[in-house]
Amino acid sequence: MTAPAPLPPASAVALASAVKRLAETDRLLVAMDFDGTLAPFVDVPRGARALPESKAALDRLERLPRTWVAYVSGRPLDSLQTVTEADEDALLIGSHGVEIRFGRDGVSLDLSDDERRTLERLGEVLGEVVDSLPGLKLEVKPVGFGVHYRLVADEHGPDVVRRAREAAAAVSDRLTIRDGKDIIEFSVRGADKGDGVERLREYTGATAVIFAGDDVTDEDGFRVLRAGEDVGIKVGRGETAAQYRVADEHAIATLLTLLAEARAAATA
């Protein structure tokens, strides 16, 4: 097994201190975004998997006393369960907080008739946008759709986003819209990752939370973290509300390995 990459020098001391503090909390929630945080981006989303070092560390953390691991993603719940290889007891937040599964105590999702009609029409108009340019992909989500433009030339991206927004606006002016990395998403029901993190905190009774993510949609999660208690980690570049930053998924693997070791010692 390849050893995890070292943390960036400027962040190493601060993160080590944060890990030590977190490891000693009474009830720890480890909440992780998936794509771009635990797993490198791939052209075929269903093929994504967490780096082996991260998966091993999270599995170890999940087995420790008073410690919970949760995956918080924009992916639909069924897709998230597949790529995380989660068991029936895993805590999963899908579709940016709309879908929630608290292990075996899962929460179902019921759409109203009006939401279903809007969803059907939304799929039709966004499908027309996607069909107009090779390389675009329409991702079907439980309460909406995502238009992926990762595989088209960079110069086409802004036009794709504009056309998708215009098409969606013709369907409804009450949609939740999110811009992500090479994707724009439209949902008929609003929620965000901050809502998901808060629900997880309430469910687990966590006394401290660590949340890591790489995308603009993860900023909602960072904003609900509590100063002096929780730790937020931004992966990669971009403005952020997180206290800390690491370079990439390999640095997250290093961080999780350190956290698992410290938590094991603290709960022994």
Cβ-contact 185, 178 below 8 angstroms:
yes
Q: What's the pTM value of the predicted model, to 2 decimals?
A: 0.77
- Name the band, by pLDDT with cuts 50, 70 and 90, for residue 265: very high
pLDDT at position 109 over 70: no
pLDDT of residue 10: 47
pLDDT of residue 244: 92
d(CA 200, CA 66): 14
**Mean of per-residue pLDDT scores for the chain:** 91
Distance between start and end Cα atoms, the chain? 26
pLDDT digit string (tens) for 18-40?
Answer: 888 999 999 999 999 999 999 99
> Can you list the domains of the chain with their CATH numbers?
9-109+191-266 (3.40.50.1000), 113-187 (3.30.70.1020)
Query: Which helix (H) or strand (E) segment is 233 a member of?
Result: strand 231-235
pLDDT digit string (tens) for 111-150?
Answer: 788 989 999 999 999 999 999 999 999 999 888 999 999 9
pLDDT of residue 27: 98
Residue-by-residue DSSP string for 83-137: HHT--TT-EEEEGGGTEEEETTEEE-----HHHHHHHHHHHHHHHHHHHTSTT-E
pLDDT of residue 11: 65
Cβ-contact 68, 204 below 8 angstroms:
yes
Across 159-173, average pLDDT:
96
Q: Show the tokens assigned to 236.
A: 């990669």
d(CA 113, CA 6): 51
